[in-house]
Amino acid sequence: MSGSPPEAPQQTSAEQSLIESRRAKAARLRERKENPFANDVVPRSGGVTVDIAELRARAASAQSEGGKYAEEAVKAATANDVFHVRGRVIAFRSAGGLTFLRLRDRTGEIQLLISESAFGEGYARLDDIDLGDIVEGEGKLTASKRGELSVEPSRVRILTKALRPPPEKWHGLQDVETRYRQRYVDLVANPHVADVFRARSHLVRATRRVLDDAGFLEVETPTLNTLVGGAIARPFETHHNALDMHLFMRIAPELYLKRLLVGGLERVYEIGRCYRNEGISTRHNPEFTMLEYYWAYATYEDLMTFTESMLRAIDAELARALPEPHARWKAERPFAIDEPFVRLPMARAVESAARTTKIEAWEAAIAEKGASGLLALLAGDFGEHIKGWSKSSPRAKAVDWSNFRKGYMKCENDGERLFAAYEYLCEPFLPEDYKAADGKRSLPVFVKDYPYETSPLARRNDLRPDLVDRFELFIHGRELCNAFSELNDPDDQAERFRDQVRKKDAGAEETMDYDEDYVRALEHGMPPAAGFGMGIDRLTMMLTNAPSIRDVILFPLLRPE
């Protein structure tokens, strides 16, 4: 029935029993005139409210070299002050008239050490506390017999009663589907997950700081568009009822940002959501966060230099803000960003990769005419040669020959053929072909000078009009960003839009529309410029060693349960 609530999820009898037990405890709290969902969180025994990290900082001088604390040293370091802390109960144990509650807040963890003899008649009420409850405690700092820093509270109160028990294996929830679907549990059960999302926040701020300091203006552009443009991708479609308009969710903000260059805003950027109706993978989510910036009077060569310095500045900010997680991430990275990046023309990349396959016919063709010789050799259907070619070397065996052949046969011109050869012969092997000085880690690679047929918005190279001034940055085999010197010739742009329309009419799904207003804007004159796009999700993956884009998006798109 429309509008009716969903059916309650199926629960095991054991789980339901635990939930009922917790509801009974909440009822007991209400009988004692205590609110199990309180909002009056203030000190009541003369204490000072502090985050757990600050509490630990105040007692830092009482910590021995072995990491333990002594009771007298703690009391001396904190002047016997009273402190008020709040947090979630992540561990709970009782033994011999003592109860130990471990609390976690956004800054760290601390133990509450509660003695039955000191706490008095209220000690029995601790039975109402369960794992997952959010509580407050107020008391002086001390140290346990094991040397652990602890709060010795004079009072403890439940602030929020958790009615649902934490999942089994609370400490280290591993089921991937549950982690993504119930991120609220994942963040509690796996503290390192929160480090990744803190890193994401810091790197976005650092990105803004780099651009702001370079004189860029942050702007916002529409996410509801009447045309498909800014990138080659299949869009999501929607409808505006009041205006009776068919609309597309934006796939990129590019064309609006470049309109602002026409208007005199010479350095602009946007960090915002984009949407592409494409497959889901470890590197693709239908909605994602994109940085795009446009820089008048700059070239794609300028952007390569700026990109290197920007990525190092962002990484340095992560090291400052999150020193311990960053040190771990950096030690585990299979790539180096502190050495100069490789700048590799696509044609040269294909030639080098093809030679590595050790196929004699290819080597001869390349020796005579370079990459164009290889493309001529591969013309038509090269399927009959695959069996022999694939045995030429270990690299040749690793080539995805089936998809290479399928993709190559769909190409309509040499520009598309060069890109296909790059995509299958070179791109998968970038990490092993371009190494840092230590020979172990890979170097980031700017693959540049793309065929103009594969880049409908990029400016042609003045000396090689069959190429465009474009690069993509790959870090350990993952594409991170795309940039190029911008096309500002309105007639050239109009013809490229027409070509996109022709492809759409022929059945291609991932094409752009003809944007008449954008061509009109170019006719007013756009200064020479370069533009840059980078996925914030992929940047976070790269800097935190996350294996999947779902690990860096708090709530990734999932099928309904």
Domain that residue 79 falls in:
15-160
pTM: 0.88
Note the residue count of the chain: 561
In a domain, 511, yes or no: no
198 close to 223: Cβ distance less than 8 angstroms? no
> What pLDDT is attached to residue 231?
81
Residues 75 and 186 in one domain: no
Q: Is residue 221 part of a domain?
A: yes
Per-residue pLDDT at 98 exceeds 90: yes
Q: Is the domain of 195 the same as that of 47?
A: no
Q: Are residues 365 and 282 in the same domain?
A: no
The verdict on 327 and 226 lying in the same domain is: yes
Kindly state whether residues 443 and 344 are assigned to the same domain: yes
Closest to 29 in 3D by CA, of 165, 162, 185, 164: 162
Q: Which amino acid is at 82?
A: V
Do 151 and 212 lie in a common domain? no
Place of tokens 């990491």: 67
The conformation of residue 402, written as its DSSP 8-state character, comes to H
Residue 88 near residue 76 (C-beta atoms within 8 A) = no
Record the tokens describing residue 246, joined without a space.
């068919």
Q: Which amino acid is at 384?
A: E
- Asked whether residue 496 is domain-assigned, the answer is no
* Of 422, 433, 434, 543, the residue nearest 480 (C-alpha): 543
The two counts, helices (H) then strands (E), for the chain are 21, 17
Asked whether residue 482 is domain-assigned, the answer is no
258 and 124 in a common domain: no
Same domain? For 257 and 352 the reply is no
Specify if 506 maps to a domain: no
Each residue of 322-365: pLDDT tens digit? 999 999 999 999 999 999 999 999 999 999 999 999 999 999 99
The three-state secondary structure class of 244 is coil
In a domain, 4, yes or no: no
Of 160, 185, 215, the residue that ends a domain is 160
C-alpha distances in Å from residue 330, one per residue of 304, 433, 440: 23, 21, 14
CATH (domain of 43): 2.40.50.140
At residue 402 the predicted structure's pLDDT band, cuts being 50, 70 and 90, is: very high
pLDDT at 168: 67
Instruction: Give how many domains the chain has, as a whole number.
Output: 3
300 and 195, same domain (yes or no)? yes
Percentage with pLDDT > 70 across the chain: 97
Q: What is the pLDDT of residues 406-440, one digit of tens each?
A: 999 999 999 999 999 999 999 999 999 999 999 99
Q: Do β-strands 237-240 and 445-451 pair in parallel, antiparallel, or remain unpaired?
A: unpaired
Give the domain-ending residue among 160, 192, 217. Answer: 160
pLDDT at 100: 96
What is the domain-level CATH number for residue 278?
A: 3.30.930.10
Residue 97 lies in a domain: yes
DSSP state, residue 392: S
Among 411, 445, 475, identify where a domain stops. Answer: 475
Structure tokens given for 92: 């709970």
Q: In terms of domains, do 176 and 276 share one?
A: yes
CB 286 within 8 A of CB 277: yes
Answer whether residue 497 is part of any domain: no
CA distances to 191, 199, 217, 459, 482 from 211, in Å: 31, 18, 8, 23, 17
Amino acid code (one letter) for 46:
G
Residues 127 and 193 in one domain: no
Higher pLDDT residue, 231 or 366? 366
The Cα–Cα gap between 196 and 175 comes to 18
Is 199 found in the same domain as 146? no
Output the CA angle 390-396-401, nearest 5 degrees. 65
